[in-house]
A and B are shown apart, each in its own frame.
Chain A
Amino acid sequence: MNKKESLNSKMPITWCPGCPNNVVLYALKSALEDLIASKKILKRDVVIVTDIGCGGKMYDYLNLNAFYGLHGRAIPIAVGVKLGNPKLTVIAIAGDGGTYSEGVNHLAASGRMNPDITAIVLNNGVLALTKGQATPTNRLLIGNSDLNPIAMALASKASFVGRETTFDLASLQSTIKAAINHKGFSLVDIIEPCLSYNNNAEWLRKNIERRRGQTVSVADFGEKSESKIKTGVFRKKTRPTLEENLGLLKTGTKKRR
């Protein structure tokens, strides 16, 4: 049995045929396999925390420790898991509805507090499983009122901020890997179309602007929606984590039985 299969569960995929979430699932699995193979992390220490909705289904598709959470609450649950046992590698997976709408305060707080977890956001501009209502990042929102999550994460002092799309598998894999490896709070915003409710694949494909080795700052995002979707790793800085600041790393949580 090769290692790739060992991360698969027995559950059938129930996303729409051709859903780009499959690309993210594949990229995440191969990133984890690489990290496990290179002994950077242990499979048994990986914990996946999901939101609900289409992204939440990742819970069933991975044969890993997992917590199927609530809408908007994948991040605070993941923070809790990390504080409960700082040895674990904790990855939150959620959609743009959960991360940028329902639970947006947790994103802002986690950027600031810097728990060593990775947040992977499936950003397709819609709440798909409830039939396609707009999320805050939907580009069709009236009057440029869409939220720019990269600007927000940067302003929230997130220590790792990256963005990729499902059109560039290699970059997606490497950024997910870098985010998991990063010590501190990492946000990976993944832009993808929703084939059923927001199929902007053609537009996206033409309007990706890869940033290589260039960081961006909040000032790079004006009041208007981005005309080109910038991708790349925009910030990667190390500073003390929440676990360290709470004194959890020195002794582990106390009186562990």
Chain B
Amino acid sequence: MKRSVLVGGEAGRGTDKTAALIGEIFSSCGYYCFIYRDYGSFIKGGHNFSVVTVSSDPVFSHEENFDVIVALDDVALRKHIKFLKPDGLIFVNNGDRKPTGNIISVGADEFAARKNIKRSFGNNVFIGAVLKSFGLDWHSGWKILSKQFSKFDAVVAREALKKGYGAWNDKRFWFKPRLQKLRLSTGNQAAARAAVESGLELCFAYPITPATGFVDELRQGNRVVVHQPEDEIAAINNSLGATFGGAMTAVATSGEGAALMAESFSLAAMSELPLVLYWAERLGPSTGVPTYTSQGDLKFALNIGHGEFPRVVVAPGDADEAYNRTAEAFYLAYKYRLPVVILTDKHLAESYYNFKPSPFLVRPEKFLTASGADYKSYAVTRNGVSPRLAPGQNQVVRVTSYEHDEEGLTTEDPKTIVAMDAKRWKKRKFLEGEIAKLQPYRVYGKGKNLIVGWGSVKGAIIDALRELPDYSFLQITYVAPFPVDKVKKIMRKARKTILVENNSTGLLGQVIKEKTGIEIGDKILKNGGRPFTADEIVKRLKAINRHE
């Protein structure tokens, strides 16, 4: 059983918060939830909405039709009423619309005015009404809500919840929950949690949607020092400097910020300083549509930085993966002394998923060496990784953007240049061996036909598979280094292959073509800033099959 609750209202009205609270309450009662957030570039005004999907089975995407519409304002009602399911309910604010049939006034604004409290406070009235319609006890809602308010405000908030609970008297949406309590997390939050647990000390970031949520989460709990420098260029150079100084660091941005960081990404490669770049894509080109999602930066991430050098690009597909892959990013960057991109997008970064952290497969650390007598900053070793020392010891430590010899001194000698280039590339083989153990790709389902995708499209594809018994899903997680042989093998075995990507031209398809020589003819692509729903994938897949 699956139900959908839309919460809509103007920016500043608490739409996102209200939806998150509803999701948390349902999760705490044992329902699986997924929350999609749709908002524009407004601080006040405009129209934002969130869709809370509530399910008896794991769920990773939202739907386009709703059982409940929580219309915090009139725009929400007008905009979404046509997507109400036949037996659906609409909770509206006050009496300016005569309650008719399935439109129920909860009087939240009146309540707020009467109590002389902020309007968004009245949102708790709506939450109460939603709980009732699902047949949940209001106490289970209060358990979550009570944590949000000071003692003083709690009295009114509780009253609001109870008012909403009494405003409606039919638990038509009730279905049986799972018994176990579940937690919710955005991709940003899960990645930030992993970063903290990996030992991150300093994060440098200039504010940018949708990466800011990652940075804000790091600030919570005060375990990581976050610095906002003058621009993205400063951020990445700060990070490299601080890593050289001996700290574990990260930078966070989206595609536009990454563009500014390109030169220093290459500096990380040449200086062989570990770099972890948390990169949450949004819709480009240029400013594009900054609060909407896209998978349009894949090839940019694979190619960012001038010159040739090994790198890692890892693309998690949900919150659980954002957690584990982030730890792997720190581990690989610091162990192999190279730049690593954690590539997410707005949909993954800001949607709420059920989240249950599983133990890291690796143990991230700074991989700093103890001081040795004849230390060389760029010693050529078996695997190309030179032991890394932080300054402050008796040995001189050098890192450099210029080509250099083993001591880190500048060189233009052709033999040394070739030797040092070979040293850097030597890491690749060892890196590939290590990544092979980290599930660089995953296959879901047993169908003979294969859907291929990466990143946040995973959610809608996994949900679509329920209705597609003939299909399985190949998810590529490590796009660089690319698991060429395994992917080739899986794709060759498939009866039919379909590419699903949230961009205009099928960038992973192009990468697969380059790496394996296999061209995927059938593509289900979507741009426009909105993520796929499972229904959409099923429909478009059926349309492709009809044409053939």
Binding site for B on A (CB under 8 A): 9-11, 44-45, 47, 49, 52, 56-57, 59-60, 63-70, 73, 76-85, 87-88, 105-106, 108-109, 113, 242, 246-248, 253-257
Assess whether B456 is interfacial by the CB under 8 Å rule: no
Chain B stretch 231-255: residues in CB contact (< 8 A) with chain A: 231, 233-234, 237-247, 249
Partner pick for B267 among A66, A70, A81, A82, CB 8 A cutoff? A70
- Nearest chain B CB to A88 CB, angstrom units: 6
Main secondary structure of the interface of A (DSSP, over half): mixed
Question: Are the CB atoms of B391 and A106 closer together than 8 Å?
Answer: no
Chain B 194-207 per-residue mask, 1 if CB under 8 angstroms from chain A, else 0: 00000101101000
CA distance A21 to B89 in the complex (A): 78
Return the chain A residue nearest B235 by Cβ.
A76
Tell me, rounded to whole Å, the shortest Cβ–Cβ distance linking B388 to chain A. 13
User: What chain A residues lie within 8 Å of B263 (beta carbons)?
Assistant: 70
User: What are 17 contact pairs spanning A and B, CB under 8 A?
Assistant: A11-B409, A45-B391, A47-B245, A65-B398, A66-B399, A68-B400, A68-B402, A68-B404, A69-B267, A80-B249, A82-B245, A84-B247, A87-B392, A106-B230, A242-B227, A255-B201, A256-B247
CB of B410 within 8 A of chain A? yes
B positions within 8 Å CB-CB of A:
199, 201-202, 204, 223-225, 227, 229-231, 233-234, 237-247, 249, 263-264, 267, 271, 365-366, 368, 390-394, 396-402, 404, 408-410
CB distance from B392 to the nearest CB of A (A): 5
Q: Which residue of B229, B394, B401 is within 8 Å of A44 (Cβ)? A: B394
- A83-B410 in contact (CB<8A): no
From B225, B391, B393, contact of A254 by CB (8 A): B225
In the bound complex, do residue A79 and residue B225 qualify as a contact, i.e. CB atoms below 8 Å apart? no
**Chain A residues with Cβ under 8 A from B402's Cβ?**
52, 56, 59, 68
- The 8 A-B pairs at the shortest CB distance, nearest first, are namely A80-B241, A84-B245, A84-B242, A109-B230, A68-B400, A80-B238, A76-B237, A65-B391
In the bound complex, CA of A78 to CA of B245 (Å): 9
Establish whether residues B237 and A70, one from each chain, have CB atoms under 8 Å apart when the complex forms: yes
Bound together, the chains give a CA A78 to CA B400 distance in angstroms of 13
Q: State whether A67 touches B230 (Cβ < 8 A).
A: no
Residues of A within 8 A of B400 (CB): 59, 66-68
**Closest A residue by C-beta to B247:** A84
Decide if A109 touches B229 in the complex (CB within 8 Å).
Answer: yes
Asked if A105 and B241 sit within 8 Å, CB to CB, the answer is no
Contacts of B394 in A (CB 8 A): 44
Contact A78 B241 (CB under 8 A): yes
Q: How far is the CA of A78 from the CA of B98 in the complex (A)?
A: 66
Asked if residues B410 and A59 are in contact (CB atoms below 8 Å), the reply is yes
**Interfacial chain B residues near A44, Cβ < 8 Å:** 391-394
* In the bound complex, CA of A63 to CA of B396 (Å): 7
Q: Do B225 and A248 have beta carbons less than 8 Å apart?
A: yes
Q: Which of B223, B244, B271, B365 contacts A257 (CB 8 A)?
A: B365
Contacts of A248 in B (CB 8 A): 225
Name which residue of chain A comes closest to B402, CB basis.
A68
A68 and B399 form a contact (CB under 8 A): yes
> What's the nearest-Cβ distance from chain B to residue A152, in Å?
14
With both chains docked as a complex, state the minimum distance between the C-beta of B253 and any C-beta of chain A, in angstroms. 15
- Least distance between A187 CB and chain B CB atoms (Å): 16
Bound Cα distance from A45 to B397, whole angstroms: 11
Q: Point out the residues of chain A lying under 8 angstroms from B201, CB to CB.
A: 253-256
Which of chain A's residues has its CB closest to B365's CB?
A: A257
- Known A44-B393, A63-B396, A76-B241; judge A83-B233 contact (CB<8 A): no
Among A82, A106, A109, the one with the most B-chain Cβ atoms within 10 Å of its Cβ is A106
Contact present for A105 and B231 (CB under 8 Å): yes
- Residues of B close to A9: CB separation below 8 A: 409
In angstroms, Cα B226 to Cα A242, docked, is: 12
Measured between beta carbons, the chain B residues less than 8 angstroms from A105 are 230-231, 234
Smallest Cβ-Cβ distance to A255: which chain B residue: B199
Minimum C-beta distance from B331 to chain A (A): 14
Whether the pair B199, A257 counts as a contact (CB closer than 8 A) is yes
- Checking B225, B241, B368, B410 against A81 with a beta-carbon cut-off of 8 angstroms, the contacting residue is B241
Q: Contacts A45-B392, A79-B229, A248-B225 known; A84 to B401 CB distance under 8 Å? A: no
Which residues of the partner chain B approach A10 to less than 8 Å between Cβ atoms? 409
Given contact pairs A84-B202, A257-B199, a sample of 17 additional A-B residue pairs in the complex whose CB atoms are under 8 Å apart = A52-B402, A59-B398, A60-B410, A76-B237, A78-B241, A80-B237, A80-B241, A80-B242, A83-B227, A85-B245, A85-B246, A87-B392, A88-B391, A88-B392, A106-B234, A242-B227, A253-B201
